Amino acid sequence: MIVDAAEAQGLYELAEAGRAAARVHVPDAEKPIEARYPDIQAALQWHLDRGETSAGCQLANALVTFWLGTNRIPDGDAWFSRLLAPPGEADATRALALHGHGYLVFWGGEHDRAAERFRESLGLAASLDDASLQALALAGLARVALYTDAAEAVRLLRKALELTRDLSDDDPGRSSAVHVLGPALQMSGDLEGAREVIGQRLAAAERQGDAFVVWTESANLSMVERQLGNLDRAEELSRQAVDTETAREHDIYLGWTLNGLAAVTAAKGESVRAATVLGAAASLLERGGGEWPPDELEQFKETEATLQRALPPAELDHARTEGAAMSREQAVAYALSLVQP
């Protein structure tokens, strides 16, 4: 394909439209990007060849959701690495690209590289006096900190919220900080605080019809309610999260969501069903090329321990193997009891 400025702009607009559509859970949002992906790659290379790293970063920023949702984390990593290698302009586009690169490799399990990119993004955002981008980078660093120090994650997020105190709640940086604060409070042991933060965000998303936030916060609140012992409410929220996520075909996202349903199912004593769902969740995550985020990893290990106490090893292994062999459609149907076990 021969790329020119008009074609490159059109491909950027296509990617940006796909990103926006995926954000609100439009079914098949990635398909138009998928159909033009070779052309999009040609456009990224065209920008690189011309030294237009800012324009290339702008296009890459629009592709983060696509790369994550279509099992292409290595693709996105490679493009961001090439685009960010030259010094480039010290502007908001580059700061966002540094964050986007960190965000992408974080979900692939490369936490040290992610933290390095988040720190670079934070430094550039601070030099630009951009509070929203600083908050976005701080939320990224908090995600990494959650693996080792939940209290430090809470501190970083409180700093992000202070920086964005004059911005609206739907500002990207502030919204990201609030989103990560819920799990951070939960992992630090403040379950009531986590319930308040996550519950408020979920209620606002339900009023606004924001399916993406409804999905994420239903899953997060289910985790908290389960730990508080409210198993029926936890199951209701987890089922809502699974049902909301089925509008898309993201293996990683569905793996996280089924992980939550497996946890509450295990807590209710339905051990074989829980083990089967857990096997499906782990398999979907692996197929998508992702890793468990810190709160999901903690939940996964807790469910594993519960099931190891409840089931003989051979029965546990058999159930997990059956779940791992399921297609995403079979896994969802089984998890939501649309088919008999």
Beta carbons of 80 and 40 less than 8 angstroms apart: no
What's the pLDDT band for 341 if we cut at 50, 70, 90? very low
What's the pLDDT band for 34 if we cut at 50, 70, 90? very high
277 falls within a domain = yes
314 falls within a domain = yes
Give the model confidence (pLDDT) of 225-239 as tens digits: 999 999 999 999 999
121 falls within a domain = no
Give the model confidence (pLDDT) of 80-98 as tens digits: 999 999 887 889 999 999 9
Q: What is the pTM of this model?
A: 0.87
Residue 215 domain boundaries = 191-341
223 falls within a domain = yes
In this structure, what is the dihedral angle of CA atoms 300, 102, 67, 171, given to the nearest 10 degrees?
90
The 10 Å CB-count burial string (b at 16+, else e) for 198-211 is bbebbebbeeeebb
Structural domain total, the chain: 1
322 falls within a domain = yes
Sequence letter at residue 286:
E
What's the pLDDT band for 27 if we cut at 50, 70, 90? low
Q: What percent of the chain has pLDDT over 70?
A: 95
Beta carbons of 43 and 79 less than 8 angstroms apart: no
18 falls within a domain = no
Give the model confidence (pLDDT) of 262-306 as tens digits: 999 999 999 999 999 999 999 999 988 888 989 999 999 999 999
**Mean pLDDT value of segment 24-43:** 84
Distance CA 105, CA 97 (A): 12
**Does 221 have pLDDT greater than 70?**
yes
Phi first, then psi, for residue 27 (nearest 5°) are -60, 140
| Summary mean pLDDT of the chain | 92
Give the model confidence (pLDDT) of 303-335 as tens digits: 999 999 999 999 999 999 999 999 989 999 999
**Mean pLDDT value of segment 119-123:** 98
Position 246 scores a pLDDT of 72
144 falls within a domain = no
78 falls within a domain = no
Q: Which two tokens stand for residue 162?
A: 């202070």
